[in-house]
Structure 1
Amino acid sequence: MLFDSFDLVSALTTLVACLVSVALLVAVSQQLWQLRWAATRDKSCKLPIPKGSMGFPLVGETFHWILQGSNFQSSRREKYGNVFKTHLLGRPLIRVTGAENIRKILMGEHHLVSAEWPRSTRMLLGPNSLTNSIGDIHRHKRKVFAKLFSQEALDTYLPKIQLVIQDTLRVWSSSPDPINVYCEAQKLTFRMAIRVLLGFRLSDEELNFLFRVFQQFVENVFSLPVDIPFSGYRRGMRARETLLKSLEKAIQEKLQNTQGKDYTDALDVLIESGKEHGNELTMQELQDGTLELIFAAYATTASASTSLIMQLLKHPNVLEKLREELRSHGILHNGCVCEGALRVDTVTTLPYLDCVIKELLRLYSPISGGYRTVQQTFELDGFQIPKGWSVLYSIRDTHDTAPVFKDVDVFDPDRFGQDRTEDKDGRFHYLPFGGGVRNCLGKQLAKLFLKTLAIELASMSRFELATRTFPKVMPVPVVHPSSELKVRFYGLDSNQNEIVTETEAMLGATV
């Protein structure tokens, strides 16, 4: 018995010693990791580098960022200020909040900073994407892509967008069960990208297959760039390969079917723009451009569409005020959208609808910010921003902390009305689509889609929350509900009365 007790004590002592050794090793390696990045400061600049933590070796604070969501930025901003350092997705990073700080970054494109997304994002979107291009190549690509979102192009897209939204709302209204809004919004925006922007003639089976693969692709766009079996990066690259094969087939079929026909979608314009500039696009460039178009139209628009439905549910007075505006402008008559009433020039000049979408994008900006790489050391808030580091300017936190906005947590479309000036006091306090030479080219299309969705929601559907409470909102990788947003939709007739199916009518008669 004595020897047994001695063995137990010896084993415990050994275990404690091992644990202490591991703890010391972790502490030492973490300190060396912090010193490794502290040594990258620009010695020619007397200013210190920003405060903050670089987390653990290699992974940095990536897992903290994923798990903490919006609390990650806010907690560190409170502790370190509007400019702080961290390490995310395999790279050292300085996160920046505040209109003046962001102005310096966005206006410093091409001399202070250049655009460079995390390696996983760059590799998954492809080397020929607009996102990854810089300098003259970027300027040329922007000229080509700008035609995809011109006034003329939007006029062509709008009737098709309206039809896709109407068909989707009919499906939602015919479902006997509540729908998961975020999941269905993703399907809606994916369908819009494939059928409206690209003009692909895919069967429902092919469309559903592509959607599942694309979801896997998007889920891993912001992953640790570690190419090992079962890693998110590896899954994302496999999804990319599958998508490119399917896209090549669809592009080839489209090229054959559209010869000699009018150009009516974004892919047509992309192909023709390349020819006009004497640089016909290769299949690889068309594949990357197509994939980037789907990516741009999908995740952020699905996020904003979900937030729109949630806010209209929370604020029925906003929905009714919106209906009143549509009636007064002759768009709604007897509860439905008048045929031919929706035109781009009409939709974009509805003042209250514009306020609703602006407020939605202020409070629930889909993306958190944009990445830049520092080309030469410069100063922000009394700190040096060293050459070679990455900078992430924060859109959401700048909106949340902007002094020009009152009651920032309140959904209040009237703050953008003519009687108030909250959106006019400062250029970089409000930037849901970024700014500078890399502002979002598709912002007008995104706003047109959201406005059309709001109009159709106001006209052809009654909808109500199917759960007791609204889910919390998560900000990473885009704003989305933390759990399912379950909503029940009801079809309406032209007088805003609920459409009752034959089965429901029979059941009601027997009660």
Structure 2
Amino acid sequence: MLFEGLELVSALATLAACLVSVTLLLAVSQQLWQLRWAATRDKSCKLPIPKGSMGFPLIGETGHWLLQVFSKIFSHEALQSYLPKIQLVIQDTLRAWSSHPEAINVYQETQKLTFRMAIRVLLGFSIPEEDLGHLFEVYQQFVENVFSLPVDLPFSGYRRGIQARQILQKGLEKAIREKLQCTQGKDYSDALDILIESSKEHGKEMTMQELKDGTLELIFAAYATTASASTSLIMQLLKHPAVLEKLREELRAQGILHSGGCPCEGTLRLDTLSGLHYLDCVIKEVMRLFTPISGGYRTVLQTFELDGFQIPKGWSVMYSIRDTHDTAPVFKDVNVFDPDRFGQARSEDKDGRFHYLPFGGGVRTCLGKHLAKLFLKVLAVELASTSRFELATRTFPRITLVPVLHPVDGLSVKFFGLDSNQNKILPETEAMLSATV
């Protein structure tokens, strides 16, 4: 009996230690998310810092006027104006990937792509390519140290992050001033234009510091999660060539890809993309199975019960996106990549409100989700219609979930240029080696 009692005490002590550890982990994680937002702005910034954010673009308890501004930034009209620019940035990037003689690191390159998209399209900055490359390197240093503990010591991650932010803001201020001085020849209103004009309409003309902080947050919002999802998209198209071919069939049926293989000329439109139902299924399945962010935090507004447990008002709670997708009863064979689960014949996501929530749910759903999905759709269309690519390693890499979901080695892929018949254009050396003697 004595030994049984000791074992019970030991088990209870272990359980208590585990609960304390989990509680501390959740508390620290939440504080780190708050640091993540605080790190993007200067102390003098008066813009509200989002609370309960999970890291997806532009989620949180912001001021009412700011929510209205962001609604304009991601409205249907705004997305239509961004679309041709997004397509051009992606086309230029894929051409560069195809002209590279070696395999590329997809995760690193998609980070550069989403950064370029944020700078060129979302903010409308005309920064020379060389300066843009330097700005990206500084931005990476900033991002790598966002979650550092706030201990301001020499050579600490926090100090490096602060220094990178200062360099970034200096470069952003230069770009903002040049943008404000050069307003002619503009054929669309970008996110920064909307932010500036809307703040004036609400009697809240923004200072240069607030413009720099808002700009940095917009870049942050469009960067890591979109790069993660873009890498997952490319990996799944590599793993499932039948999905890629079915996507090409849909593009042919909609007149985006000629029957001979070459892409039709002209820019995409939102109504054209919305008519690509299988493409929508592919993007949904990528986001279901490879959600970039694990979950998020919310504040309990009213005491409620869940499975017999009372959750008091005012508590902070964490919800898991990945666990929800893995355990939701509406999804069959949850570990299988199957875009058809979202097709009209099955519509597995239609039963219940919160079985599928890659962008969060409720009133705190991601305001930038339509821009993220638009970017992924354009990338998928361009990959299917203008690219040939193959895995450059013997096996697919493992996936890590921190800080966002991505392959541990970045995913090494060789891209090829295409001739008018959609055949791969091999580098000269490879063409000579493969020639018949």
Counterpart of 2:424 (choices 495, 498, 506) is: 498
The answer to whether structure 1 residue 194 and structure 2 residue 119 are counterparts is yes
- The separation in 1 between residues aligned to 2:160 and 2:317, in whole angstroms, is 27
Does the CA contact (< 8 Å) of 2:84 and 2:267 recur in 1? no
Name the count of aligned residue pairs. 413
Counterpart of 1:302 (choices 208, 227, 233) is: 227
Name the TM-score, length of structure 1 as normaliser: 0.75
- The separation in 1 between residues aligned to 2:48 and 2:284, in whole angstroms, is 26
- The separation in 1 between residues aligned to 2:47 and 2:222, in whole angstroms, is 14
The answer to whether structure 1 residue 87 and structure 2 residue 12 are counterparts is no
CA shift for structure 1 position 137: 5.1
Alignment match, 1:287: 212
Counterpart of 2:283 (choices 338, 348, 357) is: 357
Alignment match, 2:93: 168
Alignment match, 1:119: 34
Distance 1:259 1:168, change over 3 A: closer
Aligned to 1:487, the other structure's residue is in SS state strand
Counterpart of 1:177 (choices 102, 114, 123) is: 102
Distance 1:224 1:340, change over 3 A: same
Aligned Cα root-mean-square deviation (Å) = 2.6
Name the TM-score, length of structure 2 as normaliser: 0.87
The answer to whether structure 1 residue 370 and structure 2 residue 288 are counterparts is no
Alignment match, 2:20: 54
Counterpart of 1:242 (choices 167, 191, 199) is: 167
CA deviations on 1:105-157 (whole Å, 9 max, x unpaired) are: xxxxxxxxxxx873321321335566526998522111011111111111111
Aligned to 2:424, the other structure's residue is in SS state coil
Counterpart of 1:207 (choices 132, 150, 157) is: 132
- Gapped runs of 5+ residues in structure 2? 1-12, 53-59
The answer to whether structure 1 residue 132 and structure 2 residue 50 are counterparts is yes
Structure 1 runs (4+) deviating above 6 angstroms are: 133-136
- The separation in 1 between residues aligned to 2:61 and 2:435, in whole angstroms, is 71
The answer to whether structure 1 residue 392 and structure 2 residue 318 are counterparts is yes
- The separation in 1 between residues aligned to 2:433 and 2:269, in whole angstroms, is 42
Which structure 2 residues correspond to residues 236-275 of structure 1 after superposition, within 5 A? 236-258=161-183, 263-275=188-200
Aligned to 1:301, the other structure's residue is in SS state helix
Aligned to 2:164, the other structure's residue is in SS state helix
Alignment match, 2:5: none
CA deviations on 1:194-219 (whole Å, 9 max, x unpaired) are: 01111111112211111111112222
Counterpart of 2:145 (choices 214, 220, 223) is: 220
Alignment match, 2:373: 447
Structure of higher CA gyration radius: 1
- The separation in 2 between residues aligned to 1:312 and 1:479, in whole angstroms, is 17
Does the CA contact (< 8 Å) of 2:81 and 2:188 recur in 1? no
- The separation in 2 between residues aligned to 1:332 and 1:145, in whole angstroms, is 34
Counterpart of 1:474 (choices 400, 420, 435) is: 400
- The separation in 1 between residues aligned to 2:249 and 2:278, in whole angstroms, is 10
CA deviations on 1:287-313 (whole Å, 9 max, x unpaired) are: 121111111111011000000000000
Does the CA contact (< 8 Å) of 2:388 and 2:424 recur in 1? yes
Equivalent pairs: percent with the same residue? 72
Distance 1:90 1:212, change over 3 A: farther
Distance 1:307 1:165, change over 3 A: same
- Gapped runs of 5+ residues in structure 1? 1-30, 36-50, 56-84, 94-115
Does the CA contact (< 8 Å) of 1:89 and 1:224 recur in 2? no
CA shift for structure 1 position 52: 4.8
CA deviations on 1:393-451 (whole Å, 9 max, x unpaired) are: 11111111111111111100000000103101110010111122221111111111101
The answer to whether structure 1 residue 345 and structure 2 residue 271 are counterparts is yes
